[in-house]
Amino acid sequence: MADGEIMKMTMKDIHVGRYIIIDGVPCKVVDIETSSPGKHGSAKMRVTAMGIFDGSKKTLLKPSDADADVPVIKKKKAQVVSISGNSAQIMDSETYEVYDLPIPEELDGKVVAGSEVEILEAMGKRAISKTV
């Protein structure tokens, strides 16, 4: 699968905890509200999601039988080489590529040099998701 690959999925197959693309931003679904089908149309779904890389809150309103874009998310393990402020120098465990990533607020103090972290990679961007 190529970097930045996007799949199609029906809205009714989207669940809380899954990923979806809203306004070109890969997001994790945090809430779904479904309205009942009306006299002249199908049920509508309001999906609330948080951006994986920027933490922005996004909302999508679509019919339940419409298609939605879903990002292909790769999860990788990587080692923290060093910490500088709120940025970590990371080395990919498979390719040995070294790059810098910001440390998410919820992991502040938990990411230390020499430890392993899980990296989410989607649409050409990367983020630290959790410590291993």
Structural domains of the chain, ranges and CATH numbers in brackets? 6-71 (2.30.30.30), 74-131 (2.40.50.140)
Report the pLDDT averaged over residues 46-51: 96
Closest CA to 65 of 27, 33, 37: 37
Mean pLDDT value across the chain = 91
How many CB atoms neighbour CB 2 within 10 A? 5
pLDDT in tens, 79-99: 999 999 899 999 999 999 999
pLDDT digits (tens, 9 = 90+) for 36-46: 887 777 889 99
pLDDT higher than 90, residue 132: no
Higher pLDDT, 117 or 5: 117
